[in-house]
Amino acid sequence: MKPDIQFRSDIELLIQSFYQKAKVDTLIGHFFTEVMTISIEEHLPIIYEFWSSILLQEGQYKGMLIPKHLELDLKSPITKEHMAKWQELFYITLDEHFSGPIAEDARNRVEIMGQLMLFKIEKSRNKNSIL
């Protein structure tokens, strides 16, 4: 049986493994290799903080998740297909390494984040919208 997510090192393993897949994916890889304004090495600690904050309640994430993705969308539109691929790769990576209540919480949060992100992106494309 696979362990559940319990420690920051588990978060780091999950995120590093996910990004290894995402960077080379033909559908979403360009977001991580061409579109992002910071290097993946700068980005990873931010993502560790984000997931540690929401899954382990021990991170210090103070970023702005939605606005950063809206900036990406302006450079290269994020579609439902992109979000579905992101979710699929995250689920695959999660299932490769972890099982348990916190891993299931991560799965649920990815689903909710995907929906919220697409909603916010679509609203931002409407010039009359206030976010």
Give tens-digit pLDDT for 85-129. Answer: 999 999 999 999 999 999 999 999 999 999 999 999 999 988 655
Range 8-125 has CATH code 1.10.490.10:
yes
Report how far residue 73's alpha carbon sits from residue 16's, in angstroms, rounded to the nearest whole number: 23
Global model pTM greater than 0.85:
yes
- Of residues 59 and 18, the one with the higher pLDDT is 18
Q: How crowded is the C-beta side of 104, counted as CA atoms within 13 Å?
A: 3
Q: Where are the domains of the chain?
A: 8-125
